[in-house]
Structure 1
């Protein structure tokens, strides 16, 4: 083809001139997840094109699964979004209702000093090869980023932070307790995020309408640096502690029992009864032992991509997910690609992490592999980690059995699982071996030994803030 022909073909491919829509957006990592963050008040302006804006920004659908033209990362943990705002911002006669429970935008209820909340967190799982965002689940990893973003974006104002700090100008290393309500469930978690005081000639960036300033300002912001590390994330950051109160036993165990049997059909036509535990600490998780599914240990310990490629096992796990969801009417009614999740458990054993490091069995309580949106998670979702900790407190659960069997085989208790007394309650830490290394969560136990709260540590960082261009021609109709 001649040069003039190439130029002519290029010109013929030029669509009518149309300026791209610019979305004020922010990109954050929270824990081992990453997502697009938008302020409620900014995003509201897009009216009926709200879904289109997110889908286009992520570059979905992508038949090759790479999301090459957008901010999506090609796997479920890197294809997420969150809409963050103050209570009340999600209600307006000028745009469609945002997803989530209606009471989350009740300003008066949010002011309650004991049961109120400071920030509304709307999480969306963005499909890689589809177009429908799943607003019915949540992400515990991104809670850490939601807390940081709420400060960065001004949902938590400087006046609020200063009133809390009550410190003169200078350094400040306190932890701010931010109450965050999840739109999908109405559950409230508290993120304890470290603050430090900085001075700058610029005011905090609250969006494109922020007025410039030539004076030096002192203000508090979420700490960026620290020594906290989590498996699956290179480097160290400031620690953010996430505290989740748990409801009663009936809510944590949607099936009414710590252990149930389901019938699952194998590819060869055989149907067998398999023991599972269905646990809900914000998002339902079905626990199943690797042995009951005849998953070889070498496959379980291999890189997640190898298990992903094992079609027979992945079909079996999806069957477990579907049948396990039927144990609870509520879980089955809300069945979606994101929920419930499935977590394979196995007694602790030595293995090599996806980064090549050897992980000693003495440093963990059990081995786990979590399935999220049809793929093996490269680490472990925070909601699944929370459910592991809660399930460990129920005698006879699939998780409890795996921990006990691991102790029996190795003939020594795991240091991480020793309970510590904290006033009238005990705190029991559980460490899991996941593909990238070790992750730990602690469960607070009530007087009767029942789980009443979960605490885990995450880190977060802002990757970018600015605008995402969404060409009108690429938006869905």
Structure 2
């Protein structure tokens, strides 16, 4: 059977990479998308490497973005994020990806989807259809294209680029009933066969479950490899994640929570402490405000998912959460999150309302770059 071909662009956004499709280049029957995405990314791969496709064997390198005309009156484009499992025949549409969101504005400009200046600042209003939220992407345009070159650096990516500021507007309740889906800043989570553990269930940008690393005998400074070697720890964290999913109203039962593997994510938090980075450099306690080790699709993330970082920023601002207990205070409105690849700088603006806590916006900076354009070939 001859290989199939579909027009696409391959882009890096932050510390992730994804295939970028125009919605008009995909079948009108969305049920057919799953087979295309799996084949293009090389999933499922029993060896976990996706060598027969465009994936890279880990969740941050196994992603698809679908961009199309806006269906929201306050947006310029629609964006659907698709998380492709490296080792299973699974495509998850449950949540957004903050890293790849940084690529959507530049993609829209370079593809001629939005009016733009030849040179100067540009804002693209993005409607993420996974979460039904609006994100504003602010960046520079040069010679009619999204600017790539610059001196802004993000940990986890070699070199530098032109900064992209992402403002996630009203990010609370991205997948659930609100910023605190259970109505509590912290609560005890019970799982079969385990001692109960305190957790904060927070939904901003993407829902996350935050637990103290110390409750598992850890500091929060452990490397991803150390965490991955502890199968018992990962199994317990997964059971907590599933129980929290039900508590947050994201799943009706534990079986459904198991299938919905990408959401919510779960993270180990610690107070600032010296930590060796994946680069071999040492991150000093004074250069961070909180430590985070996040689990994505059952594996320790090599950096931190950006929507997870935004959710953590919101949690740090909410009194009574585990994050607010552990964070050292931050510099002004900025919170420096220490993760295995370095530091991610985030911001969150909170206000109290008669109905409770409201997060006005959550902000971070990324870079993005187009890597290739053409057609992706895959077995039909």
Shift of 1:247: 5.5
Call closer, same or farther: CA 1:447–1:394 in 2, change over 3 Å: closer
**Which residue does the alignment assign to 1:436?**
341
> Which TM-score applies when normalising by structure 2?
0.92
* Aligned partner of 1:467 among 367, 375, 380: 375
2:133/2:171 contact within 8 Å kept: no
Shift of 1:451: 2.9
**Which residue does the alignment assign to 2:297?**
373
Shift of 1:189: 0.7
**Which residue does the alignment assign to 2:241?**
321
**Which residue does the alignment assign to 1:238?**
162
**Which residue does the alignment assign to 1:119?**
77
Greater strand share, structure number:
2
Call closer, same or farther: CA 1:143–1:247 in 2, change over 3 Å: closer
Call closer, same or farther: CA 1:331–1:246 in 2, change over 3 Å: farther
Residue by residue, what CA displacement relative to the aligned partner does 1:133-152 show, whole Å, maximum 9, x if unpaired? 11122111100111111112
CA distance in 1, matches of 2:308, 2:36: 29
**Which residue does the alignment assign to 2:350?**
445
Residue by residue, what CA displacement relative to the aligned partner does 1:124-174 show, whole Å, maximum 9, x if unpaired? 000111112111221111001111111122222xxx214xx7xxxxxx2x3
Q: Between Structure 1 and Structure 2, whose CA radius of gyration is higher?
A: 1
Call closer, same or farther: CA 1:50–1:322 in 2, change over 3 Å: closer
Residue by residue, what CA displacement relative to the aligned partner does 1:329-363 show, whole Å, maximum 9, x if unpaired? 24557841100000110111011111011111111
After the TM superposition, which segments of 4 or more aligned residues of structure 1 sit over 6 Å from their partners?
A: none
2:221/2:274 contact within 8 Å kept: no
Residue by residue, what CA displacement relative to the aligned partner does 1:405-438 show, whole Å, maximum 9, x if unpaired? xx4xxxxxx6xx133xxxxxxxx21111100001
1:289/1:344 contact within 8 Å kept: yes
1:393/1:450 contact within 8 Å kept: no
Greater helix share, structure number:
1
Q: Are 1:66 and 2:46 an aligned pair?
A: no
* Aligned partner of 1:261 among 161, 173, 188: 188
**Which residue does the alignment assign to 1:161?**
116
> Which TM-score applies when normalising by structure 1?
0.74
* Aligned partner of 1:75 among 58, 82, 94: 58
CA distance in 2, matches of 1:48, 1:327: 30
Aligned residues: 370
Within a 5 Å distance, the mapping from 1:77-476 to structure 2 comes to 77-87=60-70, 105=71, 110=72, 112=73, 116-156=74-114, 160-162=115-117, 172=119, 174-197=120-143, 220-246=144-170, 251-265=178-192, 269=193, 271-295=194-218, 297=219, 300-330=220-250, 335=257, 336-403=260-327, 407=328, 417-419=330-332, 428-446=333-351, 450-472=358-380
DSSP 3-state at the match of 1:387: helix
Gaps of 5+ in 2: none
* Aligned partner of 1:54 among 30, 34, 37: 37
DSSP 3-state at the match of 2:162: coil
**Which residue does the alignment assign to 1:91?**
none
Shift of 1:272: 2.1
Gaps of 5+ in 1: 1-17, 88-104, 166-171, 198-219, 408-413, 420-427, 473-477
DSSP 3-state at the match of 2:273: coil
Call closer, same or farther: CA 1:47–1:372 in 2, change over 3 Å: closer
